Amino acid sequence: MPTSSRSAVRTAVLPVAGLGTRFLPVTKAVPKEMLPLVDRPCIDYAVAEAVAAGIERVVLVTSPAKASLARYYEPDPDLEAHLRAHGKDELLARVQAIGRGVQVETVIQQQALGLGHAVLTARKVVDDEVFAVLLADDVVDAAEPAIGQLIDAWQPGHAVVALMEVPAEETRRYGVCAGLWREPDLMEVHAMVEKPAPAVAPSNQAIVGRYVLPREIFAILERTDEGSGGEIQLTDALATLAARGQVLGKVFEGRRFDTGNVLGFLEATLHYTRKRPELRAGLDEILDRL
- Quick one: 22 or 190, whose CB is closer to ligand UTP? 22
- The mark string for 143-182 relative to ligand UTP (x by CB under 6 A, - otherwise) is ----------------------------------------
Phi then psi for residue 126, to 5 deg, are -110, 110
- Told to check if 206 binds ligand UTP by CB under 6 A, we report no
In the list 136, 140, 160, 241, the residue contacting ligand UTP (rule: CB under 6 A) is: 136
Strands 57-62 and 11-15: parallel
In sequence order, which residues have a C-beta less than 8 Å from that of residue 225 and are 6 or more positions away? 232, 236
**Of the candidates 217, 210, 198, which has an alpha carbon nearest to the alpha carbon of residue 251?**
210
- Quick one: 83 or 265, whose CB is closer to ligand UTP? 265
- Least separation in angstroms between CB 114 and ligand UTP: 5
C-alpha to C-alpha distance for 152 and 6, rounded to whole angstroms: 6
Residue number with the smallest Cβ distance to ligand UTP: 18
In the list 42, 53, 83, 118, the residue contacting ligand UTP (rule: CB under 6 A) is: 118
- Told to check if 109 binds ligand UTP by CB under 6 A, we report yes
In the list 35, 115, 160, 192, the residue contacting ligand UTP (rule: CB under 6 A) is: 115
Q: Scan residues 233-262 and list those touching ligand UTP (CB under 6 A).
A: 260
- Least separation in angstroms between CB 233 and ligand UTP: 10
Q: What is the largest CA-CA distance in the chain?
A: 63
- Least separation in angstroms between CB 284 and ligand UTP: 31
Phi then psi for residue 98, to 5 deg, are -60, 125
- Told to check if 114 binds ligand UTP by CB under 6 A, we report yes
In sequence order, which residues have a C-beta less than 8 Å from that of residue 33 and are 6 or more positions away? 16, 41, 42, 43, 66, 69, 136, 137
Binding interface with ligand UTP (CB under 6 A): 15-22, 61, 109, 112-115, 117-118, 135-137, 260
